[in-house]
Amino acid sequence: MGIKGVSLSLLCMSLLTATSGWAAEIHGRSSTQFESFINDMTGGQRQSELNEYLRFSITDIDKAGKFSLYGYGRAGQDFSNGEGLNGRLYYLYGDYRDLYNKVDFKIGRQFVNLAAGSAIIDGIQVDLKNVGPVAFSILGGRDVLFGLNGEIGPAGNTAMGAAAYLTGFKKTDAEVSWFRKYDRTDVSRDILGGSFKQQLLNCLNVYANGRYDLVSETFQEFQAGMKYFPTSGLIFTGEFFQSYPQFDTTSIYSVFAVDRYQEGVLRVDYNYNDKISFNAGLSHENFGEGANAFVWRVGTGLRIIEPLKFNFEFDDRNGYYGKTNGILADLTFDIDKKSQVSAGLDYDVYQRDAMTGDEIARRYWVAGKYKLAKNMAVSGRLEDDVNVTYTKNISGRFVFDYDF
């Protein structure tokens, strides 16, 4: 599939030369990226790769402007580690809208999303709208999974689903859906999903969503929460989440007893104009049979001096299975309208158990970007990872972006 994906991407690129004969509009981005990194998967050898990303949209293909084509993929060549050519086709689909002002079609490889499940499929999605307060979606196709070096999973795996959702209600959202996956001819996942959101009193948002597993007859995931926003810059969040691990019916693990995971979250997020933001949160995690953990987080974003922006996050976890605490910090400076430099640090202290003691992992990075023209830019990033495995691990990328 890696080679097929490359061929398809090249085919689409060839369409660009035909633009002068069409009324259609073609837009997109080409991003050429040179990357150098240590590949742990091939015994810690340095790998140098050239990757080409292409994303395009072709709109107004027909006179009525209802048909469009969208695509996004990546093709790459390894020059040093013997991994050769590889690629990913993320999506390539035709989109036809407003058939009789009621039906939208998407045909091809696409990302589909329902409350009951999401997937990348090679197939079709049909949406029926403008038929009252409820709209409908139905979708199905081959289930596409990406692994480390290409597509994985049998070619015969499929996914299908259907949804009904409220439309035309300004302050209420509701959706019920069903999602099923096939492992060749066996039904591997069978899920009902629901999502609900209601805005109240101009300052309150209550929401809930869940996935009900028809095989184990349990709520695989359930989330309920409330957001209180007294001003346009302040949000208080309280949320409850619980889940059970889920397995394909074709896996022996689907028959095992498992504990329920539960999590409670309290957060506050505050933005003061565009210059200062602050957030803090506390999570309590329950893994079952008395195992618990607490995670608390604080963060801030500062842009007090206009061309300079500083972001900082700290989190601390204590409890079951190990403790960690760490920071993410980065500083960005806009030199002028065309150029930007940035630098950052990830610093994490972690302990797997009492016998291992503390380990420290650090990542230092610097980066820069320069706009050559309105539609062209170059950027680069260099980083050094220092951790239990490496005292020095330099990696980097150089990117050329062209918008059309």
Contact 303, 274 (CB under 8 A): yes
CA 64 to chain CA centroid, nearest Å = 33
Q: Which whole-number Å values give the CA distances from 24 to 62, 93, 299, in the listed order?
A: 8, 16, 46
Q: What residues are paired with 385 via a beta bridge? A: 363
Q: Does 175 bind another protein (CB under 8 A)?
A: yes
To the nearest whole angstrom, how small is the minimum distance from the Cβ of residue 20 to another protein? 25
Q: CA 230, 235, 236 angle in degrees (round to 5)?
A: 100
Among 9, 68, 158, 195, binds another protein (CB under 8 A): 195
Q: What does the DSSP 8-state code read for residue 9? A: H
Near another protein in 333-392, by CB under 8 A: 340, 342, 344, 346-348, 350, 352-353, 355-356, 359, 361-363, 365, 367-369, 379, 381, 383, 385, 387-389
Among 29, 46, 303, 371, binds another protein (CB under 8 A): 29
Among 11, 23, 99, 203, binds another protein (CB under 8 A): 203
Span of 3-11, 12-20, 315-323, 370-378 interacting with another protein by CB under 8 A:
315-323
Question: Which of 75, 44, 30 is CA-nearest to residue 395?
Answer: 44
To the nearest whole angstrom, how small is the minimum distance from the Cβ of residue 21 to another protein? 25
Q: Which is nearer to another protein, 20 or 232 (CB)?
A: 232
Among 8, 12, 58, 120, binds another protein (CB under 8 A): 120
Distance between start and end Cα atoms, the chain: 28
Near another protein in 218-237, by CB under 8 A: 221, 223, 225, 227, 229, 231-233, 235, 237
Give the separation between CA 382 and CA 206, rounded to whole angstroms. Answer: 43
Q: CA 299, 329, 353 angle in degrees (round to 5)?
A: 80
- Residues binding another protein: what is the number (CB under 8 A)? 157
Among 146, 296, 310, 400, binds another protein (CB under 8 A): 146
Near another protein in 59-118, by CB under 8 A: 70, 72, 74, 76, 86, 88, 90-91, 110-111, 113-115, 118
Q: Which is nearer to another protein, 66 or 363 (CB)?
A: 363
Among 26, 57, 266, 400, binds another protein (CB under 8 A): 57
Among 10, 15, 39, 312, binds another protein (CB under 8 A): 39
Contact 35, 396 (CB under 8 A): yes
Q: Which is nearer to another protein, 15 or 50 (CB)?
A: 50
To the nearest whole angstrom, how small is the minimum distance from the Cβ of residue 201 to another protein? 7
Contact 59, 24 (CB under 8 A): yes
Among 64, 255, 304, 373, binds another protein (CB under 8 A): 255
Q: Which is nearer to another protein, 20 or 369 (CB)?
A: 369
Phi, psi of 2 (to 5 degrees): -60, -45
Q: Which is nearer to another protein, 105 or 167 (CB)?
A: 167
Span of 3-11, 18-26, 322-330, 370-378 interacting with another protein by CB under 8 A:
322-330
Burial class (CB in 10 A: 0-12, 13-18, 19+), 201: exposed
Give the separation between CA 119 and CA 132, rounded to whole angstroms. Answer: 28
Give the separation between CA 165 and CA 182, rounded to whole angstroms. Answer: 24
Give the position of tokens 């940035």.
342
To the nearest whole angstrom, how small is the minimum distance from the Cβ of residue 22 to another protein? 21
Per-residue burial over 358-370, b if 16 or more Cβ lie within 10 Å, else e, is: eeebebebebbbe
Question: Which of 7, 53, 54, 52 is CA-nearest to residue 27?
Answer: 54
Q: Which is nearer to another protein, 24 or 49 (CB)?
A: 49
Among 274, 282, 308, 358, binds another protein (CB under 8 A): 274
Among 252, 337, 357, 374, binds another protein (CB under 8 A): 252
Question: Which of 311, 242, 320, 314 is CA-nearest to residue 282?
Answer: 314
Q: Which is nearer to another protein, 24 or 323 (CB)?
A: 323
List of long-range contacts for 140-144, beta carbons under 8 Å, 24+ apart:
143/119, 143/181, 143/182, 144/109, 144/119, 144/120
